Amino acid sequence: MDRILGSNSKMLMVIYALGSIESNYSSRFQLALAILLKRDFSHWIGDIEAYDPIISVTDTKIMEALGCSVLSINEECRRRIEKPTLFYMPFVLFEHVGDLLEANWCPSRLNQMILLTSSFNDTMEFWRDLDDLTPGTLLFSNVVLIIPRIIISLERE
Ligand SMILES: C[S@@+](CC[C@H](N)C(=O)[O-])C[C@H]1O[C@@H](n2cnc3c(N)ncnc32)[C@H](O)[C@@H]1O
């Protein structure tokens, strides 16, 4: 972690594609995970910023009360980072992950970036097995943490 943080004391967390916590059960648990990560790793996770075009006014009020900033500008998941940043993209479309990686495709940026997103395998299975979907499918789907050249997959039991 020290290698990624460099001279920075904390890492920004950017959440893309959370959905609406007002209307989506999975989004509520995904936001809870982000807040718990910040709580449990407060020595290296700092501010949380979030954007999804469907975040409502009610969502914004709740999220701000919980300590998250809701962005008003659509970055198209293409933020070009200038400082250590953890991107949390729960159950996002593949192309948005591609856009983010493309925008930061150089060693100096990738070396400052952590990507926490759903397992690509599980996401593909989800679309294949859509008929079998239960809310728990998304909540407990595998999570894959991508750090440049290192892929750590947190498999469900
Ligand atoms: C498959 S849904 C996932 C929603 C939620 N995380 C879940 O697990 O149910 C993908 C989400 O990406 C959001 N999205 C679409 N374009 C986006 C953009 N430019 N920036 C951030 N989120 C975007 C959509 O509004 C949608 O909520």
> Could you tell me the fold of the domain covering 2-154?
Rossmann fold (3.40.50)
Extract the tokens encoding 19: 């959905």
What is the domain partition of the chain in residue ranges?
Answer: 2-154
Average pLDDT over the chain reads: 85
Nearest atom in ligand 1 to 54's CA: 25
- Give the model confidence (pLDDT) of 77-120 as tens digits: 999 999 999 999 998 988 899 999 999 999 999 999 999 998 77
Per-residue pLDDT of 43-65, as tens digits, reads 999 999 999 999 999 999 999 99
**Ligand 1, CB within 6 Å, residue ranges:** 16-19, 24, 26-27, 30, 51-54, 74, 76-77, 90-93, 138
pLDDT score of 138 more than 60: no
Name the residue at shortest CA distance from atom 6 of ligand 1: 18
pTM for the whole structure: 0.85
Residue 141 has pLDDT above 50, yes or no: no
- The backbone torsions φ and ψ at residue 65, rounded to the nearest 5 degrees and listed phi first, read -65, -25
Tracing tokens 């949380």 back to the chain, one arrives at 48
DSSP β-ladder status, 85-89 and 113-118:
parallel
